[in-house]
Amino acid sequence: MHRIIGAMLTLMVVLVSCKETREPLEEVATVETIVKPPVLHYGFDLKEFKVVHDTVRRGDSFGELMLKNKVDYPKIATISENFRDTFDVRKIQVGKPYVILKSKDTSEVAEVFIYQNDKINYTVVDLRDTAVAYKNKKEVTLREREVGGVITSSLSEAMDNLGVDYGVTIGLSEIYAWTIDFFRLEKGDKFKVIFDERYINDTVYAGRGPIKAALFEHKGREVYAFPYVADTVNNILDYYDQEANNLRSTFLRAPIKFGYRLSSRYNLKRRIAYYGYKVRPHKGTDYAAPVGTPIVATADGTVTESTRRGGNGKYVKIKHNGTYSTQYLHMKAQKVKKGEFVRQGDVIGWVGMTGNTGGPHVCYRFWKNGRQVDPLKEKLPAAEPIADSLRTDYLAHISPLKEQLDCIEYADPSPFESEETLISYNQ
């Protein structure tokens, strides 16, 4: 009897266990609420404000704009007086866009003023509570681009045909300023360049980024260019060729960076009809450019003269060392004074027509050991190459860049080719 009862109890336990196993527990449904973060513009959620987009118009001032939008004068004075280093209200420019964020209530008081300095950088004037101003920039992404072209009329036109930012043309001219004579480019010269393009929000183009590598072939001679910081103490970046030679020379080839024309060369046997074809030596090299074009020092040195005298007009003279001096004539105005030390590429004045001149230009004169010589025929001293201790690292650094350059194909030249062989860089 006890055995029967025990068996029945065991069977009941098994049945209950199986039932519990077969019938799953009821699941409790959970609802997850996903809260999307607000989309921010200039660091603000625009849904919280009444937004006004406008541009600075002629006659506008920061103070007047703020008063029109019900900002108290003390806050305007705080920004104007205490934040000049961040936002100089006297220098807002006509045509620059700005955004005003107003309160959503009936008062519609301006709470934030955003001034767009350029496509990337902007200044925020936060007028809520204590007035403050700070600078910021939009998020920018870089996209690498590589192009190759053949020159048929000018470097500028070849770049333009490829849809390349004009800044890349200027960048190449600066990199090769010491090694390529852009006044003597020939039809068929070639170039390749790898550079970055900047984009705001991945869509709005915001200018070119740094040039990562380049190759220029002139008269069949290939000159590579790679950026590298050899001077780690001063963190100075220079461009070097495939042999680790510095592309920078002690002297620039011209005292104007861009947009000029070589109008008259050094010529000791020059004859001029106005003077009855008598020999009137021209010991300078003339670069024609519009009035106001910046003139730069072609090398480091100390200003020994900055004055006006006779046919020279307004001029600057610079002593570079015990061997070389340079002079820049016919300026509209000088920017430097006697005794100042200037660096290569510094603006020292502007193109003008002072003194004896038939048109706007700078007459560039070049002294070597106290005697005027033709700078275009001088073998100018080069800058220091990469130190031997860095050479192995440099060659390893440029190896993939050189391979990438070599793989770039040249685009087909424009069908409208010039018949000229010798061409001007700025035509």
Is residue 375's pLDDT more than 90?
no
Task: Read off the pLDDT of each residue in 211-237 and give the average, rounded to a whole number.
Answer: 90
Residue 301 within any structural domain of the chain: yes
d(CA 102, CA 232): 49
Same domain, 279 and 369: yes
- CB-CB contact of 290 with 362 (8 Å): no
Q: What is the pLDDT of residue 263?
A: 76
Mark which of 121, 137, 153 sits at the end of a domain.
137
Residue 398 within any structural domain of the chain: no
CATH number for position 86: 3.10.450.350
Question: Which residue, among 163, 162, 161, 189, has the nearest Cα to 176 in the 3D structure?
Answer: 189
Q: What is the pLDDT of residue 142?
A: 92
Residues 6+ apart with CB under 8 A from 367: 324, 325, 326, 327, 373
Same domain, 221 and 278: no
Task: Read off the pLDDT of each residue in 289-310 and give the average, rounded to a whole number.
Answer: 93
Q: Tokens standing for 239?
A: 């461009």
Is residue 230's pLDDT more than 90?
no
Q: pLDDT tens-digit profile of 245-267?
A: 888 877 888 898 876 778 777 66
- Alpha helix (H) ranges present in 141-265? 155-161, 166-175
CA trace torsion 395, 181, 174, 369 (10° rounding): 90
Q: What is the pLDDT of residue 421?
A: 36
Same domain, 126 and 171: no
Is residue 356's pLDDT more than 80?
yes
Residue 389 within any structural domain of the chain: no
Residue 388 within any structural domain of the chain: no
Q: What is the pLDDT of residue 25?
A: 52
| DSSP assignments along 132-146, one per residue | EEEEEE--EEEEEEE
Domain of 107, in residue numbers: 42-137
Same domain, 87 and 179: no
Residue 156 within any structural domain of the chain: yes
Same domain, 221 and 233: yes
Residues 6+ apart with CB under 8 A from 97: 53, 54, 55, 56, 116
Q: What is the pLDDT of residue 276?
A: 55
Mark which of 111, 137, 163 sits at the end of a domain.
137
Q: What is the pLDDT of residue 227?
A: 95
Same domain, 97 and 161: no
Residue 19 within any structural domain of the chain: no
Is residue 381's pLDDT more than 80?
no
Same domain, 365 and 266: yes
228: alpha, beta or left? (left if phi > 0; alpha if psi -120 to 50): beta
Q: pLDDT tens-digit profile of 357-366?
A: 888 999 999 9
- Dihedrals φ, ψ of 418, to 5°? -80, 145
Q: How would residue 300 be classed by pLDDT, with cut points 50, 70 and 90?
A: confident
Residue 396 within any structural domain of the chain: no
Q: Which amino acid is at 321?
A: N
Same domain, 131 and 156: no
Q: pLDDT tens-digit profile of 155-196?
A: 888 999 999 999 999 899 889 887 787 767 889 999 999 999
The β-bridge partners of 116 are 122
Q: What is the pLDDT of residue 197?
A: 93
More confident residue, 281 or 337: 337
Task: Read off the pLDDT of each residue in 7-17 and give the average, rounded to a whole number.
Answer: 49
Q: pLDDT tens-digit profile of 103-115?
A: 999 999 999 999 9
Question: Which residue, among 165, 136, 163, 161, has the nearest Cα to 151 in the 3D structure?
Answer: 161
Same domain, 289 and 364: yes
The pTM of the whole model exceeds 0.85: no
In the chain, how many domains are there?
3
Same domain, 106 and 150: no
Is residue 215's pLDDT more than 70?
yes
Same domain, 283 and 335: yes
The β-bridge partners of 286 are 264, 363
Residue 132 within any structural domain of the chain: yes
Lowest mean per-residue pLDDT among 21-25, 264-268, 384-388, 423-427: 423-427
Mark which of 112, 137, 162 sits at the end of a domain.
137
Q: What is the pLDDT of residue 35?
A: 65
| 3-class SS of residue 215 | strand
Element (H, E) at 81: helix 73-82
Q: Tokens standing for 30?
A: 């959970």
d(CA 326, CA 332): 18
Output the average pLDDT for the chain: 84
Q: What is the pLDDT of residue 13?
A: 47
Q: pLDDT tens-digit profile of 57-84?
A: 999 999 999 999 999 999 999 999 999 9
CATH number for position 303: 2.70.70.10
Q: How would residue 21 be classed by pLDDT, with cut points 50, 70 and 90?
A: very low
Q: What is the pLDDT of residue 52?
A: 94
Q: What is the pLDDT of residue 386?
A: 87
State whether the Cα torsion 85-90-96-97 is positive or negative: positive
Same domain, 131 and 145: no
d(CA 365, CA 254): 11
